[in-house]
Structure 1
Amino acid sequence: MRHTLPIAPQFYVTAPQPCPYLADRMERKLFTALQGDDAEQLNNSLSQQGFRRSQNVLYRPSCAECSACLSARINISDFTLTRSQKRTLKRNTHLKRRATSPWATEDQYALFRRYLDSRHADGGMADMDVFEFAAMVEETPIRSRVVEYSDATQEELTAVSLTDVLEDGLSMVYSFYSPDLPRNSLGTYMILDHIEIAREAGLPYVYLGYWVPGSPKMSYKASFTGLEVYSGGSWQPMQDAASFEANLHPLSTDPIAEQVSNINLPDRRAHSS
């Protein structure tokens, strides 16, 4: 019988484009395809090294002259509710959670469009049509869920999170919610509820995507106790958000070849034997 060794994932770099978080900066991403029998392993391993998933791609910021974007996660064992977060939970007791397989619906897309038009009308997703939305939700080679939150009295869809289930936590891939309820702090509420879901499942982390010092869009993430950021090749507890400054030094990012050589890939042969 003939055996061939699995091919290691190939990494690529996107062309520079305007940064959505910091003015007058350009962003660039290091990425690889997420496919095949080992997709689950690869997603778990790279998520623990600061990568994020978008459909069948895993990516991490790799800007030429900036390393401000820091992958963030909540260590549930170190998390405690603040008074503000307790109020947020109280305001949303009327919401009912429903977790389903990753399948897009018309109600989800309608809410998604309202959210984008109100909060991110000039963002990269602003022109996303219903087919692209369905691809974002449904094209996942790993264990994913759509977590819906509806008004228990009116059965009206209020918030949605596309969530991956990792071996060590939940990764909130993309969330959107009704823009008509600013007092309810629905974005914060969904994170708090995911902390509870992860705790019930015995998972230690909730992955939140990227936190960017100096970006008002990302400041809310620093309000969660137990927050850790991936910096310098390891996860570090965030003791004080002000102590993390956006690193804009032209030598702050390692060369691409060095970045790739430092990525720890799962041992595929061990899992295939």
Structure 2
Amino acid sequence: MSIERRNFPQFFITAPSPCPYLAGRVERKVFTHLVGHDARSLNTQLSQGGFRRSQNIAYRPACDGCAACVSVRVPANTFSLKRSFRRTLNINADIHSSVLKSEATSEHYSLFRSYIDNRHSDGGMADMTVLDFSAMVDDNFVDSRLVEYRIAGQDGCAGRLVGAALIDILGDGLSMIYSFYDPSEAARSLGTHMILDNIARVRRLGLPYLYLGYWVRGSRKMDYKSRFLPQERLTAEGWVLCRPAEG
């Protein structure tokens, strides 16, 4: 079947497969292709409806009897820096971030490989080759960027690469597609730092939201997303604001 759209995108559904987040569950996804001249605007519209992007595919869960995957986004202007976040920013004060064209290099792949081998060796990306990685970073029809994180060198210039985040620029914010970092720098909480950095970037751009993807209740690997409050969560009634607990 052709993936070319006429007036609206065609949607498809995957066959059932084991859920990567919750043991004993089965997942299915509804998806469409992000191609052609309207891919950028469609990416924004679908993100607002709870979809995520992977290369030229936009998808969202469509699991029978399960709604554990909840799309979340952070309102940048009302986000509050709690003490642990301020501590993370202070620890990483020597890190410089720069926004680049989304083009993969051997340096990026080496860092990605180290991250996967140390943190997610049993995950779906464990077998990604350098060509697979390049396709993930390079191949898309949307407005994407790669944010590099480097420790400042002795001369004050950016030095060793310790993290990177692939992001999409949407009409109403930024979407964090995938991030990876040096596993030997665990004390820096680089994953948290990259999210905080992009919340600040959204604010500087004058846009409202940072999209974080899916928070999955009951999944330890996704639980970190619930820490970034206040945040909006997509429900059957629309986006609902979730605030920090009082006291």
Specify if TM > 0.5: yes
Counterpart AA for 2:170: L
Cα distance in 2 for residues equivalent to 1:120 and 1:17 = 19
1:14-93 matched pairs, under 5 angstroms:
14-93=14-93
Counterpart AA for 2:23: A
**Alignment-derived partner of residue 95 in structure 1:** 95
- Cα distance, 1:41 vs. partner? 1.4
Cα distance in 2 for residues equivalent to 1:233 and 1:115 = 38
1:239-254 matched pairs, under 5 angstroms:
239=243
Cα distance in 1 for residues equivalent to 2:31 and 2:234 = 17
Cα distance in 2 for residues equivalent to 1:6 and 1:212 = 34
- On the 8 A contact 1:229/1:237 being kept in 2, the answer is yes
- Cα distance, 1:223 vs. partner? 1.0
Cα distance in 1 for residues equivalent to 2:201 and 2:109 = 24
Cα distance in 2 for residues equivalent to 1:153 and 1:222 = 34
Cα distance in 2 for residues equivalent to 1:94 and 1:38 = 40
- On the 8 A contact 1:74/1:224 being kept in 2, the answer is yes
- On the 8 A contact 2:174/2:209 being kept in 1, the answer is yes
User: Helix, strand or coil: the match of 2:110?
Assistant: helix
Structure with greater strand percent: 2
- Cα distance, 1:233 vs. partner? 4.7
Rg larger for: 1
Runs (5+) with no aligned partner, structure 2:
none
Counterpart AA for 1:36: G
Is 1:169 matched with 2:152? no
Match of 1:231 among 212, 232, 235: 235
**Alignment-derived partner of residue 132 in structure 2:** 132
Cα distance in 2 for residues equivalent to 1:6 and 1:128 = 33
- On the 8 A contact 1:198/1:205 being kept in 2, the answer is yes
- On the 8 A contact 1:49/1:233 being kept in 2, the answer is no
Is 1:196 matched with 2:200? yes
| Alignment root-mean-square deviation, CA | 1.4
Change (3 A) 1:137 1:50: same
- Cα distance, 1:236 vs. partner? 0.8
- On the 8 A contact 1:77/1:226 being kept in 2, the answer is no
Cα distance in 1 for residues equivalent to 2:142 and 2:123 = 27
Change (3 A) 1:210 1:93: same
Cα distance in 2 for residues equivalent to 1:164 and 1:156 = 24
User: Helix, strand or coil: the match of 1:181?
Assistant: helix
- Cα distance, 1:111 vs. partner? 0.4
Is 1:218 matched with 2:222? yes
- Cα distance, 1:174 vs. partner? 0.4
Cα distance in 1 for residues equivalent to 2:53 and 2:149 = 22
Deviations 1:110-168 (A, max 9, x none): 00001001111010110000000000000110111000001112711100000000010
- Cα distance, 1:7 vs. partner? 3.2
1:100-139 matched pairs, under 5 angstroms:
100-139=100-139
Cα distance in 2 for residues equivalent to 1:239 and 1:11 = 34
For normalisation by structure 2, the TM-score amounts to 0.93
For normalisation by structure 1, the TM-score amounts to 0.84
- On the 8 A contact 2:164/2:180 being kept in 1, the answer is yes
Query: More deviation in 40-49 or 6-15?
Result: 6-15
Cα distance in 2 for residues equivalent to 1:184 and 1:240 = 24
Cα distance in 1 for residues equivalent to 2:224 and 2:169 = 23
Cα distance in 2 for residues equivalent to 1:240 and 1:197 = 22
Q: Which 4+ stretches in 1 moved above 6 angstroms?
A: none
